Amino acid sequence: MADQSVPIGGALDLTPARPEERASVLEWLHGWVVTVDHKRLGMLYMIYAIVFILVGGAEAIAIRIQLAVPHNHFLSPELYNEMFTMHGTTMVFLVGMMYLFGFGNYMVPLMIGARDMAFPRLNAFSFWMSAFGGLLLYYSFIGGFGLYGMGAAPDVGWWAYAPLTARAFSPGHATDYWALALIVMGFGTLGSAINMIATALSLRCKGMTLMRMPLFVWLMLVVSALILVTITPLTAAQIMLTIDRYLGGHFFDTQAGGSATIWMHFFWIFGHPEVYVLVLPAFGIASEVIPVFSRKAIFGYPAMVAATVGIAFVSLGVWAHHMFTIGMTSVGNTFFVLSTMLVGIPTGIKIFNWIATVWGGKIRFKTPMLFALAFVFQFLIAGLTGIMLAVAPWDWQLHNSYFVIAHFHYILVGAIVFNLFAGIYYWYPKATGRMLSETLGKWHFWLFLIGFHVTFDTMHFVGFLGMPRSIYTYEPNRGWNDLNLIISLGGIIQGIAVLIFAWNLVQSYFRGKEAGNDPWDAWTLEWSVPSPPPAYNFATDPEVHSRRPLWDLKHPEDPDWKYEQ
């Protein structure tokens, strides 16, 4: 018989009482800079992501103001190119990658009952590499002399197709800042991924078998494995680009027999799995939030794990669906049509499982749950437009139109950003010891939801009407005027919602309700330690017997380990 009465160590607060020492500001700052603690690094990642979501969001608003009416002069054509390039690069690399490692760093060791990440110093190194990459990218605004000899940010699009990136067509250093920033961030990301894999595989507490790991940890493990083979091709391609630009190489130089197409292949071999790298942690957050607020264990845990691994594998073989219009052979087209449609199966399994988890549950509509529920439905729509675009002839019609923009923003915002918010509302109490305001949270949710749909639902239609992406203005007689104005208004509503969120983060830190250890009555190990957790995490090593160790602790008469395989 298992001894289920063994308390989970962290539930005992053995922190020695000691007088509050007030450190000077410099000491406090120094403490954050030299820290190797996974919780502090997780916070740094999150702060970094939130700062850049505001910056990237401001860039998006600038783009939308420019496009609100035809023949607008809010942005110059050059600045417009810089804005959409920086918006894309920022949101993918400085927000997406940072948020996933922020949550991962903070939560994974706590969820598996570990003291820290496997390699704390590598962890700090990875963060500062990524942070440096971000600074490098943004320094280009003042340091990168671009076209027309003025200070310039990268303006080649976040996909940076050759031969536009060649020295002849992108003089100056703007493109170099872009390439170098991505190489530097790539090393940071690789370090973090290695660390995450080692942590999840080698530091689990006693009794936590792989099939008892919380789903969020599973998702982070799979994401990190995917990063190993996803970010590295980008790094390789960026090294080639740098060789072309600085040493006069010919990788992507069509004048010397090089191929511009091979850049597209290399970029999308990175670029498509990258989308799954960003969305899988979002699935992980939803898989933690939805059960807790439905008061039910997750439905079909093994199927969820299998679907995750399935998505990771399939995602490596779909990249050329970004390239249907370059004229591949029909065999090539068919292969990528079918492999892309295959993604629908594991993601469909996930959607069914989330719905089945909610089904018959005692649902609590708190802010995290609202965001997670909205995510499920938006993700479904995003998946359906994805299947449409996977059909090559359909893609020939709509490639590079706003329909594509609408589709991938439905994933990036409707799935990832919604779960980013869900995760922050869910775990903020753990990290700070204070609840986020529910009232402001509800305002944030509803405004953001409305703004999101006003913007991105409408974008599908303007795409159908033939509006191409990456244009800085358009003629008034194309029938796009009203729709563009609506899209821009939705963008501004989203902007207001995000500002409410930022205000909520700040004011709740000082005036939020005390959270206590376990404000949501949740089931995973991180809720067994005080909020915020002490530096050592768990006073004694925890031991688990099921997927919901805290349920076992709270319900000794009916523990999970009696039922789980």
Partner 1 sequence: MSAIPYSTAAEPWVLPSRGRVAMLSLIIGESAIFTIFVVAYVYYIGKSLSGPTPQQVLDVPIFNTICLLSSSITIWLAERQIEHGRMKAFTAWWALTMVLGIVFLVGTGLEWHKLIYLDGLTIHTNLFGTTFYSLVGLHATHVVVGLCMLSLVLIFSLTGHVTAAHSERIQVLALYWHFVDGVWVVVFTVVYILGR
**Binding residue for partner 1, selected from 147, 164, 198, 391, defined by CB under 8 A:** 198
In the beta sheet, which residues pair with residue 468? 401
Residue pair 228/312 in contact by the 8 Å Cβ criterion: no
Nearer to partner 1, 30 or 121 (CB): 121
Cβ neighbours of 225 (radius 10 Å): 16
For 485, the 3-state DSSP assignment is: helix
249 is a contact residue toward partner 1 (CB under 8 A) = yes
Residue type, 310: G
Q: Which amino acid is at 487?
A: I
Residue type, 495: G
Give the binding range for partner 1 (CB under 8 A) out of 24-32, 68-76, 230-238, 441-449: 230-238
Residues in contact with 54: Cβ distance below 8 Å, sequence separation at least 6, in sequence order: 498, 502
Whether the Cβ atoms of residue 308 and residue 346 lie closer than 8 Å to each other: yes
Which 3 state secondary structure label does DSSP give 563?
coil
**N residues, the chain:** 565
Q: Is 180 in the site for partner 1 (CB under 8 A)?
A: no
Q: Which H or E run contains 272?
A: helix 261-294
- Output 248 or 468, the one with its CB closest to partner 1: 248
Binding mask 425-464 for partner 1 (x = CB under 8 A): ----------------------------------------
Question: What are the residues facing 145 on neighbouring strands?
Answer: 151
| Residue with Cβ nearer partner 1 (257 or 327) | 257
| Residues near 293 by beta carbon (within 8 Å), at least 6 away in sequence | 363, 364, 365, 366, 368, 369, 372, 520
Q: Does 232 bind partner 1 (CB under 8 A)?
A: yes
**Selected binder of partner 1 within 237, 382, 398, 550 (CB under 8 A):** 237
Stretch that binds partner 1, among 201-209, 333-341, 366-374, 433-441 (CB under 8 A): 201-209
> CB of 321 within 8 A of CB of 257?
no
Residue in 29, 150, 211, 256 binding partner 1, rule: CB under 8 A: 256
Segment interacting with partner 1, rule: CB under 8 A, options 9-17, 167-175, 232-240, 434-442: 232-240
With beta carbons less than 8 A apart as the criterion, state whether 42 and 103 touch: yes
Q: Which of 77, 248, 468, 516 binds partner 1 (CB under 8 A)?
A: 248
CA atoms within 13 A on the CB side of 443: 14
Give the separation between CA 88 and CA 133, rounded to whole angstroms.
15
Judged by CB under 8 A, the stretch of 38-46, 197-205, 462-470, 485-493 that binds partner 1 is: 197-205
Report, in Å, the least distance between residue 270 CB and partner 1.
9
Site stretch for partner 1 (CB under 8 A), options 47-55, 195-203, 419-427, 467-475: 195-203
Q: Is 301 in the site for partner 1 (CB under 8 A)?
A: no
Query: CA–CA distance from 472 to each of 83, 265, 404, 461 (Å)?
Result: 10, 27, 17, 19
**Eight-class DSSP state of 435:** P
Name the residue type at position 479. Answer: G
Number of shown-chain residues binding partner 1 (CB under 8 A): 52
CA distance 497 to 421: 11
Residue 213 or 420 having the CB closest to partner 1: 213
Q: What is the rounded CA–CA span in Å between residue 546 and residue 212?
A: 6
Q: How far is the CB of 544 from partner 1 (least distance, A)?
A: 9
Single-letter residue type at 132: F
Q: Which of 19, 257, 327, 556 binds partner 1 (CB under 8 A)?
A: 257
Nearer to partner 1, 252 or 527 (CB): 252
194 is an interface residue for partner 1 by CB under 8 A: yes
Distances, alpha carbon 321 to alpha carbons 103, 318, 339, 379, in Å: 30, 6, 9, 19
Residues 112-151 that bind partner 1 (CB under 8 A): 118-119
- Within 525-554, the residues that bind partner 1 by CB under 8 A are 543, 545
Q: How many CB atoms lie within 10 A of CB 16?
A: 4
> Does residue 303 touch partner 1 according to CB under 8 A?
no
**Residue of 2, 14, 33, 345 that binds partner 1 (CB under 8 A):** 2
Span near partner 1 by CB under 8 A; candidates 223-231, 347-355, 430-438, 457-465? 223-231
> Does residue number 358 form part of the binding site for partner 1 (CB under 8 A)?
no
What is the smallest separation between the CB atom of 316 and partner 1, expressed in angstroms? 10
Q: At its nearest, how many Å lie between partner 1 and the CB of residue 543?
A: 8
- Beta carbon nearer to partner 1, 367 or 546: 546
CA dist., res. 177 & res. 467, Å (int): 30
Q: Does the protein bind partner 1 through residue 239 (CB under 8 A)?
A: yes
**Angle made by CA atoms 405, 59, 492, in degrees to the nearest 5:** 80
Chain contacts with partner 1 (rule: CB under 8 A)? 1-3, 118-119, 190, 193-195, 197-199, 201-204, 206-207, 224-225, 228-233, 235-237, 239-240, 243-244, 247-251, 256-259, 262, 266, 269, 543, 545, 561-565
